[in-house]
Amino acid sequence: MTARPSQPISNPDCIFCQIVDGTAPARQEHLIDDDGRLLSGGNLIAFHNRLDWARVMLLIIPRDHITQAEYWTTDLLPEAAQLATALGDKQCPEGYRLISNFGRVAHQSQEHAHLHLISGADTDLPATFDGKAKTLFEKPPVRITPTAVPGVPLAVRITAAGAATQSQLWRGEHFLECGQRAIEYASEHTPEGFRLVSNFHSPATGHIGGGDAALLMLGGGQLDLYA
């Protein structure tokens, strides 16, 4: 496991750092669990995006000014995954997406690490997957296989042993390893930029736990906007 920075890191020119320290306004989202514990706060904060492209658009960011790659390879990732899925389940009965963009080709506009929570599943992404797809990379418990997404040159599915659904994947003990393998794979196969995204389908669609487990990596060239 990659260690987080031992000292707080802040960039005075970063709008997200300004939100963290309270010098820039943002409508924060606080989540209380059934036992009365505050789930947001601590190492992360969640706040509403100023964009209004979807009914719900939240950002889950670390308090430290770190990169997307650091976010996805340190012990902050499981904490962010727990917070993001709890907020998504609570606020988005119609389903939602969790997205991180890497590089300009994927429309990353802020250097400060962030995870998008956007209401509504993306119907351009596959809802089910071929369990017999050829393995491109395997380092137990993580497996990477190809999939097809319209208009995307490179699309692969990343999952972990024992995770059949999205909820099991994102809340499971191996999600950090999925993030680490994703960054390694992307650095070799799509270094110019890529997107990590998971669809969580509404329970009303009949998909259990948000649907089949799949952290999708989309890359290989310019991508469409993420919402």
Contact yes or no for 163/209 (Cβ under 8 A)? no
pLDDT in tens, 126-143: 989 988 899 999 999 999
Residue 63 falls inside a structural domain: yes
H helix and E strand count, the chain: 5, 9
Residue 6 falls inside a structural domain: no
Distances 12 to 4, 43, 102, 112 between C-alpha atoms, Å: 20, 18, 22, 12
Determine the pLDDT at residue 151: 93
Residue 94 pLDDT exceeds 90: yes
**What's the whole-number mean pLDDT along residues 143-152?**
96
pLDDT in tens, 63-93: 999 999 999 999 999 999 999 999 999 999 9
Residue 8 falls inside a structural domain: no
| Parallel/antiparallel/unpaired status of strands 215-219 and 95-102 | unpaired
In this predicted model, which residue has the larger pLDDT, 1 or 138?
A: 138
Torsion of CA 90, 93, 98, 99, to 10 degrees: -130
Residue 225 falls inside a structural domain: no
Number of folded domains that form the chain: 1
Residue 7 falls inside a structural domain: no
Residue 4 falls inside a structural domain: no
Residue 33 falls inside a structural domain: yes
Instruction: Assign residue 90 the CATH number of its domain.
Output: 3.30.428.10
pLDDT in tens, 4-39: 555 678 999 999 999 999 999 999 987 666 665 555
> Letter for the amino acid at 115?
L
CA dist 89 and 203 (Å) reads: 10
Question: What's the whole-model pTM score?
Answer: 0.93
Determine the pLDDT at residue 3: 54
Determine the pLDDT at residue 1: 47
Domain around 187: 15-219
Determine the pLDDT at residue 130: 85
Q: For a pLDDT cut of 70, what percent of the chain falls above it?
A: 92
